Structure 1
């Protein structure tokens, strides 16, 4: 009986971790898709590494994604903005996030 309880608890715990990891992969793929569809035409790698960059941390990265999606009138919601910011953070910046 005790072994079944332990197995059930482990299944629940690892199932939640797998779901969380799958969600992160989905969000990263969505961020990459949004960026490559709407942003890459005007951005090259240099824009993320220029000398006078405005992005200096996670919060400013999110702010810049918010600002530019507004300028482009993309109508992204907060989830879209975070997904794109996470994609950029993974590829270029590597700032600690607020998670």
Structure 2
């Protein structure tokens, strides 16, 4: 393994949500899709529901945790919606 350049900060590994999205969704869903005027997502729960809907349409069989991770990735990267307070 080559030595790291002095002062270089290692990048954290990508999140599970990012990996799932880039593996299964990016082919059809570019970032432009999320910014379009007619987008359906208006809040956090709507984002989670859309991720759930599309993974079901594509028969990906993601767990609830995977769905939330992809929604979290999309929210952090694109939507910036307020998340509900933890129960």
Using structure 1 for the length normalisation, give the TM-score.
0.71
CA deviation digits over 1:43-95, x for unaligned, max 9?
A: 11110011110000101000000000000000001000000000000000011
Matches within 5 A, 1:37-76: 37-76=23-62
Higher relative contact order (CA 8 A, sep 6+): 2
Q: Which runs of 5+ in 2 are unaligned?
A: 1-11
Is the partner of 2:72 in helix, strand or coil? helix
- Stretches of structure 1 that go unaligned for 5 or more consecutive residues are 1-24
The structure that has the greater radius of gyration is: 1
Q: Secondary structure at the match of 2:15?
A: helix
More helix by share: 1
Q: CA RMSD in A?
A: 1.5
Q: Which stretches of structure 1, 4 residues or longer, exceed 4 Å deviation after superposition?
A: none
Equivalent residues, number: 74
TM-score normalised to the size of structure 2?
A: 0.80
